Structure 1
Amino acid sequence: MSFVRYEEKGHYAIMTIDRPEALNALNSQVICEIGEAIEAIDLENIRCLIVTGAGHKSFVAGADIAEMAHLTKKGGERFGAEGSAVFRKLARMPIPVIAAVNGFALGGGCELALACDIRIASENARFGQPEVGLGITPGFGGTQRLARIIGTGKAKEMLFTGSIIDAKEAYRLLLVNDVYPAEELMAAAEKLAQTIANNAPIAVQNTKRAVNEGKQVDIDSALTIEARYFGDCFETADQIEGMAAFLEHRKHGAFENK
């Protein structure tokens, strides 16, 4: 792949959008390569994924305007559908995904971060959906995920004005979980990924499924979903070892993902 780097570190992996000369902007090839990288992840071994951008200026500055400028209506709809499908694939991964936002996360870059489970940011990070200033709407999930994360009123304000917020405001709005000095961001992301990877993989994945599926239904249905995934953890090697270790007052052994 030309614009996406992928590296495994034990039970977690790092996917880096690597197009720094264009501030990691998303063109059709980058979007395709993100999808290919997701498809290639060994989910039997990898328990958490970090997504970040190359360099120190930009996570992903947005979709590639030079590529979009001459699209027809059908071409625009197709481009939006392609990006949305890849971001949906990322959001639906069974393993947790952390966005390490190391600079500009605008337009498609903000939407990429929104598709992740957890977002942490460097102090120089900037978030926004400035598409209305270009005569278009967000097309990769921004109108839907932003409102679900920060609330409808504030999301509409950001979407209608195209305003850009800094990391401090993103933290206040609960758009990001934590903010770090730029030089500490990746170490913090990797520490978080390792902590997640050290836990029982089936339990972590079932927890993600319960949260995501439960958000789509009423509370009674959601509690039924939770009970199903809770029960699904029993009789697994990880549950047996985890509870045995607790009862024997010892540290659990390595979880086996089975």
Structure 2
Amino acid sequence: MSETLRIEERDSHVLAVLDRPEKRNAIDQELVDALHRLCARLEVERRTLVLAGSGGTFAAGADIAQLRERRATDALAGINTRCFQRIRALPMPVIAVLDGYALGGGAELAYAADIRIGTPTLTIGNPETGLGIIAAAGATWRLKEIVGDALASEMLLTGRLLGADEALAAGLVSAVLEPEAALARAVELADRIAALDPAATQATKRSLLAPASAHPEIDLAEQAVLFESPEKHRRMTAFLERRSAKRTQETR
């Protein structure tokens, strides 16, 4: 159990709240360890994860006091990088609710999510070069996939931060809502995902994460497995029966 990551069990998902409000939810070693433990669970249980922050902030960055003391061996260990890679690779979708600051490591944690929802106070970006380091926990390869080369390069090379409207226009978030509504939207999405076939959802996520060179072969291989699934047959039969019943009612 960690005091820095509050976990709530929900019917359709697991809600994980970064809970270091006095440090604006800065990502420290304890929080990284807690996220690893949560990933170990979700890799087995295969449930949707909703990530949020407490106190009106998602995560204002990595813990600078800890970061200042790290050396080359720590960089090569990829402390935050490996954690965020694990979150990105979770079998089921990850939805991040971004309220207030999502900076540095906090932004890179957000980039690891499949779906991001912002609030009007969102400020997101990577000011690492101003601290004498680079954004090495995913931003240099994930951000350009999300917003494109031009904007990603400007953000990473100049430290430009985006507000909520800019993040929405760039496709960095899919919606901007007031904090309660943003969390409600995340729950709504998790509920919608829970109603779908988990095997198909997981296959879709694997295909989305695959490099361009893997397509279309990965899609065809995933589809081949699903075509043999009893759940596919059950769901399609139910769909056809509902359509037939509807047509029968309409002709009466």
* Same fold, TM-score > 0.5, yes or no: yes
**Residue number in structure 1 paired with 2:32:** 31
Per-residue CA deviations over 1:164-187 (Å, capped at 9, x if unaligned) read 110110011111111101231111
How many angstroms does 1:196 deviate by?
0.9
Distance 2:144 2:43 in 1: 32
Structure 2 Cα separation of the partners of residues 43 and 164 of structure 1 = 36
Pairwise CA distance, 1:104: 0.6
Q: What does residue range 32-71 of structure 1 map to in structure 2 within 5 Å? A: 32-41=33-42, 43-44=44-45, 46-56=46-56, 58-71=57-70
1:87–1:140 contact (8 Å) kept in structure 2: yes
| C-alpha separation in 1, matches of 2:43 and 2:69 | 38
* Structure 2 Cα separation of the partners of residues 183 and 6 of structure 1: 18
Matched-pair contact (CA < 8 Å) for 2:43–2:91: no
RMSD: 1.5
**How much does 1:73 deviate?**
2.7
* TM superposition shift of 1:231: 1.5
Q: Greater helix percent: which structure?
A: 2
C-alpha distance after superposition, 1:22-47 (max 9, x if no partner): 00001111111111111123744x53
Whether the 8 Å CA contact 2:164–2:176 is kept in 1: the answer is yes
- Match in the other structure for 2:176: 179
Which residue type is aligned with residue 100 of structure 2? G
Counterpart of 2:58 in 1: which secondary structure?
Answer: strand
2:16 maps to 1:15: yes
Aligned counterpart in structure 2 of residue 195 of structure 1, from 182, 192, 197: 192
* TM-score, normalising length: structure 2: 0.91
Q: Return the alpha-carbon distance in structure 2 between the equivalents of residues 71 and 225 of structure 1.
A: 39
Q: Which amino acid aligns with 1:180?
A: L
Match of 2:223 among 222, 227, 230: 230
| Equivalent in the alignment of 2:246 | none
Cα deviation, residue 67, structure 1: 1.1
Deviates further, 46-55 or 158-167: 46-55
Structure 2: state its 5+ residue gaps.
Answer: 244-252
State the match for 2:126 in structure 1: 129
**Alignment partners' CA distance in 1, 2:66 and 2:175:** 34
CA offset at residue 225 of structure 1? Answer: 1.1
CA distance in 2, matches of 1:88, 1:176: 19
Counting only pairs closer than 5 Å after superposition, residues 198-209 of structure 1 correspond to structure 2 as: 198-209=195-206
User: How far did 1:244 drift?
Assistant: 1.1
Q: 1:217 and 1:41 mapped to 2: Cα distance?
A: 27
Aligned residues: 242
**Identity score, percent:** 36
Give 2:241's match in structure 1, choosing from 218, 225, 248.
248
Residue 249 of structure 2 corresponds to which residue in structure 1?
none
Q: Which runs of 5+ in 1 are unaligned?
A: 251-258
Listed as ranges, the matches of 1:82-101 within 5 Å are 82-101=79-98
Shift in Å at residue 62 of structure 1? 0.3
In the aligned structure 1, how far is the partner of 2:178 from the partner of 2:8?
Answer: 23
* Structure of greater Rg: 2
Amino acid in the other structure paired with 1:60: A
Aligned partners of 2:227, 2:80: CA distance in 1, in Å?
A: 37
The amino acid that maps onto 2:55 is: G
Q: TM-score, normalised on structure 1?
A: 0.89
